[in-house]
Amino acid sequence: MNNILSFTTAHVNTLSELNSIAKKHNCTIRLYVGDSNSIEIEDIIDTFKERYDLSTTAAEELDFNYEIQNPQLHLSSACFELAERTENGTNYHQLSYIEGYVCCELSESCGYDISDELQNWFDNYWEDPDSGFIYKSFSYTKVTGFNGATADVYREGMALKFFGDLVCDYLSEPRIVRVY
């Protein structure tokens, strides 16, 4: 999961066309791509809470009853930005597509019985919690600006398409139609 962006000719043409549209409206198109990794147990537990509905109580119980070993959290992100210059400064409109994975090994450290809440969480989110190995991948879309518009990118190759739709709609331009 290291290459979040793979641009084809269609993507490059769309980016060029978006740049031309943006210039017409005194705006700039920007692209940011990045990766981050963490091995901090707190980051792993926070990801469980944010992405997999682990309550604070269950998180504390997980941390108390299990030793979390070999934690890994990897995020790859692509952020497309429309920077709009106005009389009052610059407005930023962004679409970010993030994908990643979280994994670790769990080994019981206390031997206490776990609560129904934590057991239900294991049952709902992990294929085989008895194996002690947890691996989950995820992706999500975050949109800011664009007058509150939203988008739900379902695969990395479509992030630019959805960003283009947001830009064209926001600037009242016809959408760019292309196969990706």
Predicted confidence (pLDDT) per residue in 85-111, tens digit: 989 999 999 999 999 999 998 887 676
Q: How far is CA 155 from the centre of its chain?
A: 11
pLDDT given for residue 7 in this prediction: 84
With vertex at residue 93, the alpha carbon angle to CA 89 and CA 94, rounded to the nearest 5 degrees, is: 140
User: Tokens for 11?
Assistant: 């993507």
pLDDT given for residue 171 in this prediction: 97
Per the CB < 8 A criterion, the answer to whether 80 and 29 are in contact is yes
Please name the residue that has the structure tokens 């809470």: 49
Residue 158: half-sphere exposure toward Cβ, Cα within 13 Å? 9
153: confidence class by pLDDT, cuts 50, 70, 90: very high
Overall average pLDDT of the 113-137 stretch: 83
- Whether residue 119 is predicted with pLDDT greater than 90 in this model: the reply is no
Contacts of 36 (CB under 8 A, 6+ apart): 74, 75, 77
Torsion of CA 82, 85, 91, 92, to 10 degrees: 20
pLDDT given for residue 1 in this prediction: 45
Strand partners, 164: none
**End-to-end alpha-carbon separation of the chain, Å?**
20
pLDDT given for residue 174 in this prediction: 97
List of long-range contacts for 120-129, beta carbons under 8 Å, 24+ apart: 121/52, 121/53, 121/54, 121/55, 121/58, 124/53, 125/52, 125/53
pLDDT given for residue 129 in this prediction: 63
> Residue 51, SS3?
helix
Q: pLDDT above 90 covers what percent of the chain?
A: 63
pTM of the model: 0.82
Mean pLDDT of the residues in the chain: 90
> Residue 171, SS3?
coil
- Range with the poorest average pLDDT among 17-31, 32-46, 78-92, 99-113: 99-113
